Structure 1
Amino acid sequence: MTNTTHFGFKQVATEDKVKLVRGVFDSVAGQYDIMNDLMSMGIHRIWKRVAVQLSNVRKGDQVLDLAGGTGDLTTLFEKRVGKEGQIVLADINSEMLRTGRDRLIDRGLVGNIRYAQVNAECLPFEDNTFDCVCIAFGLRNVTDKDAALRSMYRVLKPGGRVIVLEFSHPVDKITETVYDFYSFKLLPKIGKIVAKDEDSYRYLAESIRMHPKQDDLKKMMENAGLERCEYFNMTQGIVAVHRGYKI
């Protein structure tokens, strides 16, 4: 019997999800930053700054930026770790990783940034390597989220932090109603016009609805071994930052 998982609202064979997600991000990589600004009216930049602030990353730290895409979080982390620290910008998608690398080089950010094409479920790093592991707007695309959280925990140093920045679930009915209308009626049309890809942005809306709710993700992080887990809602719960520690 074939194991299945969700790809948006569809059920697909588990082994096919990585390929399907790769197709989405291959398609949108070139317009990814422009779409982020349009979709969130620029607010995604505030969400990312809050996540980096909550990471408590300091000078000299080693940081893994998972699903790092076009490098927004890496750019913010680089300012904090300084030349004494290091960031690994990692993504499962080669097109996103290439776009991120090119943009960081164009910004003059070289020397303390490495690049790695990895699957979050089985990270190819030694135990106890990083002071912080951050995954922003990527966990919902992972096939086995529990395996990914365990893998993040393994590569984290004692005292280190896992930061999960992700679209989440609105905390009140009015926000939920408006958000549903925007997500399913307007967002795919914006994707069609700007990125020439309506289906990928319909998948985005569906994948957000299939992502665990705030308390459920907190429990998943605890089950992976993380302690002192907590979350911080932003924009009425449309986005949340989860934080957990390896003690």
Structure 2
Amino acid sequence: MSDNSHHPHSAPSPSAGAAPGGGPSGTTDFGFRDVPVTEKKSMVRQVFDSVAGKYDVMNDVMSLGIHRAWKKIFVTELGPHPDLRLLDLAGGTGDISFGWLRGGGGPAILSDINVSMLAVGRDRALSRGLVSGLNFVAVDAEAIPIADCSVDRVSIAFGLRNCTDKLQVLREARRVLRPGGRFLCLEFSRVQVAALAPVYDAWSFQVLPRMGAAIAGDRESYQYLAESIRMFPDQETLAEMMREAGLERVTYQNLSGWIAAIHSGWRI
């Protein structure tokens, strides 16, 4: 399930692999903009406050529905088992936690820094009868209020790119994992198929913001989301960050022409 080969890729942006931001002193990326580190979390919170109600619809639009297949692969990789406990970081409206529980996984903590997203996730859980074994917690992934060595799996799907200090998130994920526990990240990545690149760019920067305006009444938030994908570290850079955070046996699998990737690491 892993892909450790060295694929050709463009160099990451200056801010991609640094903590907290890597831009000029005291700044970090917010899409293509440099903003003060102290302001990014509130800016990201505003984005997801705005999009929460339409988030699931827009996920289908953004990925042409392919995100559903990616998430199924991701949940399978998590390996749900009744004896395992999951911490779902940036869990938003609940897709990963729901898949975990439906797959026979043990207790899950659905966490997100954004209470608007958690509220949508809670409503979706109630409508699906998936409340048992599921806790909803407002959590900053850079400072997880959970004891060391307390969960068996940590997941983050389409959330790491919105975090200010990505390396700190990875360190926190390792800290809360029990020995033998596994961290998995699903995220949009760097397209490596040359023929796809111009189509992907046109979709991201021309079509997507217009759809955001039409469907969610919010062009700017979806412009940010498209830009944040481009600012995220490439596959090899993220793998190296995971190793720096102390995770071991780091691998990644590319999906759908390298549009997305699943990264895996273990606490040994």
User: What SS does structure 2 have at the residue aligned with 1:6?
Assistant: strand
2:127 alignment partner, one of 106, 111, 127: 106
2:47 aligned partner, one-letter code: V
Per-residue CA deviations over 1:48-83 (Å, capped at 9, x if unaligned) read: 01111112232221001111111111110012345x
2:86 alignment partner, one of 60, 63, 76: 63
User: What SS does structure 2 have at the residue aligned with 1:125?
Assistant: coil
Structure 2 matches for 1:127-138, cutoff 5 A? 127-138=148-159
| C-alpha contact (below 8 Å) 2:80/2:101 kept by paired residues | no
2:101 alignment partner, one of 54, 59, 78: 78
| C-alpha contact (below 8 Å) 1:60/1:81 kept by paired residues | no
1:157 maps to 2:178: yes
Unaligned 5+ residue runs, structure 1? none
1:188 aligned partner, one-letter code: P
Higher relative contact order (CA 8 A, sep 6+): 2
User: What SS does structure 2 have at the residue aligned with 1:120?
Assistant: coil
- Higher share of residues assigned helix: 1
2:60 alignment partner, one of 18, 33, 37: 37
2:59 aligned partner, one-letter code: N
CA-CA distance at 1:110 after TM superposition: 1.7
Structure 2 matches for 1:155-234, cutoff 5 A? 155-234=176-255
What residue number does 2:37 align with? 14
**Deviating 4+ runs (over 3 angstroms):** none
1:123 alignment partner, one of 134, 139, 144: 144
What residue number does 2:258 align with? 237
Distance 2:150 2:125 in 1: 23
User: What SS does structure 1 have at the residue aligned with 2:108?
Assistant: strand
CA distance 1:97–1:221, shift in 2 (3 Å)? same
Distance 1:211 1:170 in 2: 12
Distance 2:100 2:130 in 1: 11
CA-CA distance at 1:38 after TM superposition: 1.6
Structure-1-length-normalised TM-score: 0.97
Unaligned 5+ residue runs, structure 2? 1-23
State the identity %: 50
| C-alpha contact (below 8 Å) 1:57/1:132 kept by paired residues | no
Distance 2:96 2:189 in 1: 19
1:27 maps to 2:50: yes
2:68 aligned partner, one-letter code: R
1:56 aligned partner, one-letter code: G
CA-CA distance at 1:2 after TM superposition: 6.2
Distance 1:107 1:54 in 2: 23
Q: CA RMSD in A?
A: 1.1
CA-CA distance at 1:176 after TM superposition: 1.4
User: What SS does structure 1 have at the residue aligned with 2:185?
Assistant: strand
CA distance 1:186–1:207, shift in 2 (3 Å)? same
Distance 1:181 1:2 in 2: 33
2:196 aligned partner, one-letter code: T
The aligned length equals: 245
CA-CA distance at 1:125 after TM superposition: 0.2
Per-residue CA deviations over 1:189-243 (Å, capped at 9, x if unaligned) read: 0000000000000001100000000000000001101111000000111100000
